[in-house]
Structure 1
Amino acid sequence: MPEPTGVIHDIGYQRYTGPRLGRRYVFGSLYLHGVRTAFGLGRSAKAKIFPWLVVGIVLMVAVAATAMRVQFGEVVMTYAQFADNMSWLVLFFVAVAAPELVSRDLRSGVLPLYFSRPLPRADYPLAKLLALVTSLWLLLGAPQMFMFLGAAFTVDGVGEVWDEFVDLTGGLLYAGLWGAVFASIGLLVASLTGKRAFAAGGIVAVFLMTTPIVGTLSILPSQAANQLSGLASPSTLVQGVGVWTLRDLLITDPDAFVPDLGPFGPLYLLAAVALVAGCVALLLARYRKVAAR
């Protein structure tokens, strides 16, 4: 019987003996990376242009509103009204940020690396969604904080500062609602294609194509159809929730147009919750399908 001629060479490979950070660390890393990606941090200068242009616009609006209040003592817009007025910028921010968060990974084919242990399949879309919601909340909430600081130095007494803080809390919660609704829809649409241009166009189309439906329902002779018309579009749905829950903060001008919700205010809130939950469920189902390929 011939003797074996093979030789085992020790070339210095060693087993990994360091800490195994696990699922929580991977989820947190995906989340933090997603927030940075939404604002173009850690990427090329070109990728920073649009996100920071939007940030600059909302900050300039907040500075102008604060300056007018400090100089003339006039409240140009409340914290909740600020979120309403900036909602159109939120739409375009989502149309750019959501494809960057998920479409790039679909196109480059790196998802099998993410779906390897210890990261479950559901953690990837949830981390991306949470990152986008946080980014939108920061986009709307940080300027509100600036407005609050300006107001706190112009009002008299601790009681008025507390009233401002209560109003700020309502505005921040309202900003969170805008972020949750827009992020869940935007990320779901973006997850359907690996092409960022198609994803961005699809996100804008979803929001814009529902607006004429609201207009059509609002002119029908049926009062119930008029009161329920806001349910047909994500933007008017969020505004309806705001009118029902934060009416005093959103309607400060007695001559301003106020959507008539009738007895359907609670339905708007339930519809918003159902919309977010449905989008999240579809997003999770989408990534179970992607991972199975």
Structure 2
Amino acid sequence: MPEPTGVIHDIGYQRYTGPRLGRRHVFGALYVHGLRTAFGLGRSAKAKIFPWLVVGIVLVVAAGVTAVRSQTGQAVMTYARFVDTMSWLVIFFVAVVAPELVSRDLRSGVLPLYFSRPLPRGDYALAKLGALVTALWLLLGAPQLVMFLGAAFTTKDGLHGVWTELGDVLPSLLYAALWALVFASVGLLIASLTSKRAFAAGGIVAAFLMTAPIVGVLSIMPSRTVNELAMLASPSFLLHAVGLWAFGDKLEPGAAADQMIGDFGPVYVGAAVLLVAGCVALLLLRYRKVAAR
């Protein structure tokens, strides 16, 4: 009978003896990674084309508005109006980025690794949501800052003019944050339901664009109350209604705002808050079930 010839080789594996940073650092790393993913940073050149094309478009529009104002002295677009005008770009940005943040992980099967300690399941969803909200706010907020700087340096009213511009841009940045919260929460929830990025993107676009005709139908109903509440049927129009209540003629000239939403401004604000809260709750529930598989 031949003697055993097996040999045990020491290939240098060692236990990790460095610092274990814990839950907060894992959450932060996942958030930063998600924010970089949103803009294609650290990825291939192909992944950078669409997000930076969108960034370029919004910055060019902001620069054009600033240039016209500096030459004519007339503001062709308010800060709040800029946010509303760019909404169609935001929809497609979310439709592309949200599936990249969550659908890819579902398809590749890496979630069990993420959900191992010390990262709870809810932290994963909140980190991805925070990254998308930040990316959208930067997308809408940075061009407003370009417009503000252009107006501040060309104002003829000195320091008073700068303060006036500051009083206009700060509420608009908060308005942009609300857009970011609503679009990110709705988009990420839809994307988390499927591992196929094409299906996720289609669902996100449908949620924002396919609901618009419903608003059109409700707005021509014979009931004035139904007309004034019609914008509740679409997330995009819901946010526009909040803007009408908050900014009035800075979004729609004259008395158009009162004609469109009547006295239901606070109702629209409450609906926006409930929409965000509901989507976040469903998103957390979704990942609690995914992790249990």
Match of 2:175 in 1: 174
Match of 2:129 in 1: 129
Matches for 1:218-233 after TM superposition, within 5 Å: 218-233=219-234
Q: 1:87-119, CA deviations, whole angstroms, 9 ceiling, x for partnerless residues?
A: 000000000000000000000000000000000
Match of 1:90 in 2: 90
Q: CA RMSD in A?
A: 1.8
One-letter amino acid matched to 2:68: M
Q: 2:113, 2:147 → 1: CA distance? A: 43
Match of 2:289 in 1: 289
Matches for 1:202-281 after TM superposition, within 5 Å: 202-251=203-252, 253-254=253-254, 260-281=260-281
Q: CA deviation at 1:157?
A: 1.7
The verdict on how the C-alpha distance between 1:264 and 1:257 changes in structure 2, with shifts beyond 3 A counting, is closer
The verdict on how the C-alpha distance between 1:276 and 1:259 changes in structure 2, with shifts beyond 3 A counting, is farther
Secondary structure in structure 1 of the residue aligned to 2:207: helix
Could you tell me the percent identity over the aligned residues? Answer: 74
One-letter amino acid matched to 1:194: S
Secondary structure in structure 2 of the residue aligned to 1:75: coil
1:214/1:230 contact within 8 Å kept: yes
2:249/2:255 contact within 8 Å kept: no
Matches for 1:81-120 after TM superposition, within 5 Å: 81-120=81-120
2:245/2:257 contact within 8 Å kept: no
Match of 1:163 in 2: 164
Q: With structure 2 as the length reference, what TM-score do the two structures score?
A: 0.94
Q: 1:115, 1:88 → 2: CA distance? A: 35
Question: Is there any run of 5+ residues in structure 1 with no aligned partner, and where?
Answer: 1-6
- Detail structure 1 runs of 4+ shifted over 4 Å in the superposition: 7-14, 255-259
One-letter amino acid matched to 1:242: G
Secondary structure in structure 1 of the residue aligned to 2:117: coil
The verdict on how the C-alpha distance between 1:154 and 1:183 changes in structure 2, with shifts beyond 3 A counting, is same
Q: 2:257, 2:276 → 1: CA distance? A: 27
Question: Is there any run of 5+ residues in structure 2 with no aligned partner, and where?
Answer: 1-6
Q: 1:32-85, CA deviations, whole angstroms, 9 ceiling, x for partnerless residues?
A: 111111111111111111111111110110010000011111101111110010
Q: 1:224, 1:194 → 2: CA distance? A: 41
Q: CA deviation at 1:256?
A: 6.5
Secondary structure in structure 1 of the residue aligned to 2:279: helix
Secondary structure in structure 1 of the residue aligned to 2:121: coil
The verdict on how the C-alpha distance between 1:125 and 1:199 changes in structure 2, with shifts beyond 3 A counting, is same
Q: 1:269, 1:66 → 2: CA distance? A: 30
Q: CA deviation at 1:258?
A: 6.5
Question: Is 1:16 equivalent to 2:16 in the alignment?
Answer: yes
